[in-house]
Amino acid sequence: MNNNQASSNPPPPVSLKQAFGYWLKLGFISFGGPAGQIAIMHQDLVENKRWISERRYLHALNYCMLLPGPEAQQLATYIGWLMHRSWGGIMAGGLFVLPSLLILIGLGWVYMAYGHLPAVAGVLYGIKPAVTAIVLFAAYRIGSRTLKNAWLWAIAALAFLAIFALRIPFPLIVFVAGLLGALGGKWAPLYFNLGGGHGKSNPHFGPALIDDNTPPPEHARFNTGKLVRLAFIALGLWGGALGWLCTHYGWDGALTQMGWFFTKAALLTFGGAYAVLPYVYQGAVEHYHWLTPTQMIDGLALGETTPGPLIMVVTFVGFVAGWNQTLFGGEHLFLAGALAATVVTYFTFLPSFLFILAGGPLVESTHNNLKFTAPLTGVTAAVVGVILNLAVFFAYHVFWPQGFEGVADKVALVIGLAAILALFRYKVGVIPVIIGSGTAGLLWSFLKPWLSQHGINL
């Protein structure tokens, strides 16, 4: 509907069945990372369907940005909750994730069962340099939006040195950055009052079902008893699942440790998935040895090509971990991978539902309160340095697979530089860059043997 032709009447009420159809469709088309997903929902829900006004939409988004976890998935959960109570929120947030879960289980199976085939290996070979460029671009994009003064540049630089040179654990970096942000908000508020908004409201889309002046529904009003009740329910869902795993597999069992580890990871996803990936790498690769560095890079590559939040890369990590651990013997590798992927996804997203369903009415009142936003500003600045470290890590493993003492992979370097040029100079989207790089890798996998036969080695 054209803005100038917007109806003077709000749209009719939306049934739970109608909402189900939309949230299911969104789960399959939510490509483009959080920015793309937020833009899709804005166009659909604010401009076209007018389920919610732009001011209310941005208010909800700013709240979700204050939380750990994927803000686009939490925003869908929030809107679903606002429209259809708790079950509406669970439906919206769950369908945002479910298609990606199923797709990544399928891709994980193809990767583990057929990843050694030349064609599959060739595509992955081309995608890895592109992922390195994408992570570097993420650091640039977040940094250009966040690092507005020397104080925040200093926090970013310290975070990079802490994780790159001193190998300080990611949770400690987040804690110190939040503390520096809190102190900065108190002593130098001008430098830490950056906010988290995405723009100003446009009132010209016509009246919305949930409009600017629509009073909050009864279930969206703060109630201490309800908050406590929902917190206990979430704690029961978490503790019950973890207790069941511990009873059947022991505390040191792989599935139990996955549940515990990814619960901690879920609470550290300030700044998006790129920020928490170093922590996932430290745990899954270096500490638990569930998968190799190469498999971790491949997982991020596959996660970039699927709908849903990028943090869904942990689903791939879980699948590969379950497969590698042969949880149910060599004859049931797919079952082990699928169960581990489901366990990891469950524990990663459970806190997000709690934050929205239980905390929505309470935390909304804290928006634009510097006491709450300044620590987030400090954490987001540190995230830039952490993501840059991730780009350096990927570049080392992709471009110098034998280490710096070995020869650089010239073809990978060319693909990586082309991806950087496409992203930074020509503003090409992530998906086209991945497709182009994968195609280049596939072509190289066929061309390389022919060149070798003719004595040409690059």
Contact at 8 Å (CB) between 313 and 262? no
Q: Taking the model in full, what pTM does it have?
A: 0.75
What's the mean pLDDT in 16-25? 95
Q: What tens digit of pLDDT does each residue of 438-451 get?
A: 999 999 999 988 88
- Residue 289 three-state SS: coil
**Structure token pair of residue 8:** 């003077």
132 contact partners, CB below 8 Å, separation of at least 6: 391, 394, 395, 398, 399, 416, 419
Among residues of the chain, what percentage have pLDDT more than 90? 46
Check pLDDT > 80 for residue 275. no
The mean-pLDDT minimum among 35-49, 129-143, 263-277 falls in 263-277
User: How many angstroms separate the CA atoms of 59 and 2, rounded?
Assistant: 24
Top mean pLDDT of 119-133, 318-332, 351-365, 439-453 is at 318-332
What's the mean pLDDT in 1-20? 76
Estimate the crossing angle of helix 293-304 against helix 313-324, to 10 degrees: 140
Q: What tens digit of pLDDT does each residue of 303-324 get?
A: 877 888 888 999 999 999 999 9
Contact at 8 Å (CB) between 201 and 54? yes
Q: Give residue for tokens 């580890």.
A: 261
